[in-house]
């Protein structure tokens, strides 16, 4: 039971920080390496890359819209909505 609580808490602190001025974002709240997949709402993968916390991820190739960012670490999978204006 405690393991589930710590995972839930950990997922809540993973955040996307969008910088619309230079078409980038970064992810905080996890440790070590992770795999990032950005998909559109039709589940079409648009980007897949290895990241570390605070890496700057370019998204200048994305059109305005709503996307799903899936971050997979060694212990969990976290999904966040990504809105590009």
Helix (H) or strand (E) holding 13: helix 2-13
Write out pLDDT tens, residues 41-57: 999 999 999 999 889 99
User: In the structure encoding, which two tokens stand for residue 62, read together?
Assistant: 């994305």
Strands 45-52 and 65-72: unpaired
pLDDT in tens, 8-49: 335 667 888 876 667 899 888 888 899 999 999 999 999 999
């Amino acid at each position: 039971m405690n393991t589930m609580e710590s995972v839930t808490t950990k997922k809540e602190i993973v955040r996307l920080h969008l910088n619309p001025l230079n078409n980038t974002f970064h992810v905080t709240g996890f440790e070590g390496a992770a795999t990032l997949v950005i998909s559109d709402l039709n589940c079409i993968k648009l980007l897949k890359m290895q990241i570390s916390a605070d890496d700057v991820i370019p998204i200048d190739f994305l059109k305005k819209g709503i996307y799903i960012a899936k971050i997979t670490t060694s212990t969990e999978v976290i999904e966040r909505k990504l809105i590009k204006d």
